[in-house]
């Protein structure tokens, strides 16, 4: 029997982590979102044993918001969904996206995407991966800024 996607559990868990800090999604700033996401990343959810079945995603890059140039910061967690034959049939992702209008400082920062997976050997352990994110140049500018828009969505990939 195929697995149910862990979205309803994962999304509810993320909201509980927010509520424990007296927050809702719309109140998140990058630094707080990353701390909550770090806690969320430590929680085990059922996923197939495939090395890419439970992955953490970080993305910073150009975007558009209300017809104006913007940048987005994405924190995501991807889960593999097991098919009835035991293989990974598809992926689902819980994604927290924060959008900011572009500033001259942000316009100079290169686009970046990074993944870290729970069930495969990585060059960095999870703590080192999170430290590498906060060492990125966009964090100097975005760490304490209020985004113009924050969304928590789940999507099928």
The DSSP annotation for 76-128 comes to EEEEEEE-TTSSEEEEEEEEEEEEEE--HHHHTSPPEEEEEETTS--SS-HHH
pLDDT at residue 5, rounded to an integer: 47
- Is residue 93 situated within a structural domain? yes
Please state the domain count of the chain.
1
Query: Is the residue at 2 inside a domain?
Result: no
1 found inside a domain:
no
pLDDT value at 25 more than 50: yes
Place of tokens 């495969």: 120
Report whether pLDDT(157) > 50: yes
The two structure tokens encoding residue 67: 């017809």
Q: Is 9 exposed, middle or buried (0-12, 13-18, 19+ CB in 10 A)?
A: middle
* Residue 104 belongs to a domain: yes
pLDDT tier at 96 (50, 70, 90 boundaries)? very high
CA distance 102 to 65: 10
Cα–Cα distance measured from residue 59 to residue 31, given in angstroms and rounded to the nearest whole number: 15
């Amino acid at each position: 029997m195929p697995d149910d996607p862990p979205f309803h559990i994962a999304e509810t868990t993320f909201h509980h982590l927010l509520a424990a800090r007296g927050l809702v999604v719309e109140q998140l700033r990058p630094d707080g979102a990353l701390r909550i996401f770090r806690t969320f990343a430590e929680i085990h959810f059922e996923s197939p044993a495939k090395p890419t079945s439970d992955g953490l995603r970080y993305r910073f890059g150009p975007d558009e918001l209300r017809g104006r140039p913007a940048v987005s910061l994405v924190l995501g967690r991807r889960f593999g969904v097991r098919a009835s034959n035991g293989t990974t049939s598809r992926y689902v992702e819980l994604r927290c996206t924060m959008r900011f209008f572009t500033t001259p400082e942000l316009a100079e920062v290169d686009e970046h995407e990074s993944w870290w997976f729970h069930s495969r050997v990585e060059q960095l352990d999870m703590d080192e991966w999170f430290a590498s994110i906060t060492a990125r140049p966009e964090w100097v500018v975005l760490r304490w800024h209020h985004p113009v828009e924050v969304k928590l969505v789940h999507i099928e990939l």
